[in-house]
Amino acid sequence: MVFRICEDVGTTKRRRMTPRRALKIWEMHKGICVLCHEPIDGAREDWFIEHLIALENGGSDEDKSGNLGPAHLWHKAAKDAVDHSAGAQAKRRKRHHIGIRQRKGPPIPGSKDSPWKRRMDGTLERRSK
Q: What residue ranges do the domains of the chain occupy?
A: 19-97
The string of pLDDT tens digits covering residues 45-74 is 999 999 999 888 888 888 888 899 999 999
CB neighbours of residue 69 within 10 Å: 17
State the pLDDT confidence band at 118, using cuts at 50, 70 and 90: confident
Dihedral (Cα; 28, 21, 62, 47), 10-degree rounding? -70
Q: What is the DSSP string of 59-72?
A: ----GGGS-EEEEE
In CATH terms, the fold of domain 19-97 is His-Me finger endonuclease fold (3.40.1800)
First-last CA distance in the chain: 33
State the pLDDT confidence band at 96, using cuts at 50, 70 and 90: confident
Residue 8 has pLDDT above 60, yes or no: no
pLDDT at residue 56 in the model? 86
